């Protein structure tokens, strides 16, 4: 497998996906709609480790964010999608309005603010 490809290039592959409710599922649906490519969905799960285990066994491929990967996942082959107009999504940071933020939460907010300010 190459390090980069178009979604259309993996049309014949089986996919292991997260269940509905995960952003990955929405991204997969948008990719299939935008490219008119509809790969076979072999298995769905809400368990990230089960998903990675099935992929590790060579039964198919998946869409996954880097946030779900660990250093121990070095045995998996990562492929960047080259498609234009890849689905995007917003991430919201929510907190109760009247609860003071701890040091870790303040640090996260500072990182986000620095990123947005660029």
> Quick check: is 116 in a domain?
no
Q: What is the pLDDT of residue 9?
A: 94
Sort 36 into a burial class: Cβ within 10 Å, 0-12 / 13-18 / 19+. Answer: exposed
Supply the DSSP string of 21-73, one letter for each residue: TSHHHHHHHHHHHHHT---EEEEEES-HHHHHHHHHTTS-B----GGG--GGG
> Quick check: is 48 in a domain?
yes
Number of domains the chain contains: 1
Question: In terms of Cα–Cα distance, which of 44, 49, 47 is closest to 14?
Answer: 44
pTM of the model: 0.72
Q: What band does 109 get if pLDDT is binned at 50, 70 and 90?
A: confident
CA distance 51 to 45: 7
Q: What is the pLDDT of residue 33?
A: 92
Q: What is the pLDDT of residue 47?
A: 93
Q: Which domain holds residue 73?
A: 4-81
> Quick check: is 76 in a domain?
yes
> Quick check: is 45 in a domain?
yes
pLDDT, tens digit, 9 for 90 and up, residues 21-72: 888 888 899 999 999 999 999 999 999 999 999 999 999 999 988 778 888 8
Q: Which helix (H) or strand (E) holds 105?
A: helix 103-117
Q: What is the pLDDT of residue 68?
A: 81
């Amino acid at each position: 497998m190459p390090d980069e490809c178009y979604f259309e290039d993996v049309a014949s592959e089986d996919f292991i996906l997260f269940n509905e409710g995960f952003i990955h599922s929405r991204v997969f649906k948008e990719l299939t709609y935008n490219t008119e490519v509809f790969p076979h969905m072999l298995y769905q799960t809400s368990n990230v480790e089960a998903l990675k285990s099935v992929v590790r066994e060579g039964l198919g491929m998946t869409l996954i964010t880097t946030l779900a990967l660990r250093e121990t996942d070095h045995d998996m082959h990562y492929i960047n999608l080259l498609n234009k107009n890849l689905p995007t999504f917003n991430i919201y940071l929510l907190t109760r309005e009247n609860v003071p933020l701890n040091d870790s939460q303040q640090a996260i907010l500072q990182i986000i603010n620095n990123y947005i300010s660029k």
